[in-house]
Amino acid sequence: MRALIIVDLQNDFVQPNGVLYFTGAEKVIAPVIDLTERAINGSQILITTQDWHEPDDEEFLVWPKHCVKNTYGAEIVEPLRKLLQNYEKHFPIHKTRYSAFYGTHLEQLLKDLSIDEVEICGVVTHICVFFTVEELRNRGIKVTVHEQATASYDLELHKFAIRMMKEVLGAEVVQ
């Protein structure tokens, strides 16, 4: 069974008023919406991850305070949120670290739904997308990365992550 995982398409990352917004981040919204519409039309499983921090999270020693749970910054961007609001096969994952597996029920969800193949998109390519792909591949799950639907604040790190996911982790990378 196949699923689409959309990583951290949240206001704090992809909206110009977001705390960790970077120029060009919003470019992933349209391709992610296209992938989501295709998945919904195919009655596919959709999993969204959201950075979801307590106000005093230790991650804020490394990064500015962002995606504090139940705030505007932590919300999924509006066009995606609207598409998913009544979709029965949407499963949200709230996470506190880079990997969508750490401290979440994602592994059990994938097992319960018999997911053995994942398409993935979102932000940031070399952080949360990369570490989630690494965990998926370690579990033997086939992964397709939609490069045009991923973005990073650092083009060189984006390219590096894409290359690592393809050449080291064995993910398929498509435009």
Each residue's pLDDT tens digit, 61-70: 999 999 999 9
pLDDT bucket at 175, cuts 50 / 70 / 90: confident
With a cut of 90, say whether residue 126 has pLDDT above it: yes
Say which CATH number the domain at 149 has: 3.40.50.850
Q: What is the pLDDT of residue 42?
A: 96
What is the pTM for the complete model shown?
Answer: 0.97
Instruction: For residue 156, give its domain range.
Output: 2-174
Counted domains in the chain: 1
Handedness of CA 156, 68, 120, 97 (dihedral sign): positive
Percent of the residues in the chain that have a pLDDT greater than 90, as a whole number = 99
pLDDT, average across residues 123-140: 98
Q: In angstroms, rounded to a whole number, what is the distance separating the alpha carbons of residues 35 and 28?
A: 11
CB-based contacts of 152-159 (< 8 A; 24+ apart in sequence): 152/22, 152/123, 152/124, 152/125, 152/126, 152/127, 153/22, 153/23, 153/25, 153/124, 154/126, 157/125, 157/126, 158/125, 158/126
Q: Which backbone phi and psi does 160 adopt, to 5 degrees? A: -60, -45
Q: What is the pLDDT of residues 156-165, one digit of tens each?
A: 999 999 999 9
